[in-house]
Amino acid sequence: MASAVEPSAASMTPYTTHRIPYPSTLVKGRFIWPYAGAFIVYHSLALLVVIPWLFSWAGLVLFLTGFYVFGTLGINLCYHRLLTHYGFKCPKWLEHTLAILGVCCLQDTPARWVAVHRRHHQHSDEQEDPHSPLASFFWGHMAWLYHVNTEMERRELYERYSKDLMADRFYKNLERRLVWVWINLAQWMVYYTVGFFAGWAMTGSPMAGVQLGLSVWLWGVILRTVGVWHITWSINSVTHMWGYRNYETDENSKNNILIGILSNGEGWHNNHHAQPRCASHGHKWWELDVTWISIWLLKKVGLAWDVVEINRKMAAKQSVKEY
HEC sequence for the chain:
CHHHHCCCHHHCCCCCCCCCCCCCCEEEEEECHHHHHHHHHHHHHHHHHHCHHHCCHHHHHHHHHHHHHHHHHHHHHHHHHHHHCCCCECCHHHHHHHHHHHHCCCCCCHHHHHHHHHHHHHCCCCCCCCCCCCCCHHHHHHHHHHEEEHHHCHHHHHHHHCHHHHCCHHHHHHCCCCHHHHHHHHHHHHHHHHHHHHHHHHHCCHHHHHHHHHHHHHHHHHHHHHHHHHHHHHHHCHHHCCCECCECCCCCCCECHHHHHHCCCCCEHHHHHHCCCCCCCCCCCCCCCHHHHHHHHHHHCCCCECCCCCCHHHHHHHECCCC
Asked whether the CA dihedral 221, 222, 227, 233 is positive or negative, the reply is: positive
CB atoms within 10 A of CB 316: 8
Grouped pLDDT means (10 residues each) for the chain, 323 residues: 39 58 92 94 98 97 97 98 98 98 96 96 95 96 95 88 95 88 94 97 95 98 98 97 95 96 97 96 96 98 97 81 51
What is the structure's pLDDT at 313?
Answer: 82
Q: Provide the pLDDT for residue 323.
A: 38
Q: Residue 68: its pLDDT value, please?
A: 97
Assess contact for 184 and 104: CB atoms under 8 A. Answer: yes
Distance CA 134, CA 116 (A): 17
Whether this prediction's pTM lies above 0.75 is answered by: yes
What is the Cα–Cα distance from 86 to 79, expressed in whole angstroms? 10
Question: Among 81, 73, 150, 91, which residue's Cα sits nearest to residue 114?
Answer: 81
Q: What is the pLDDT of residue 30?
A: 93
Are 58 and 212 within 8 A, CB to CB? Answer: yes
Identify the pLDDT of residue 176: 85
CB within 8 A of 316, min separation 6: which ones? none
pLDDT score, position 191: 98
Tell me, what's the pLDDT at 18? 78
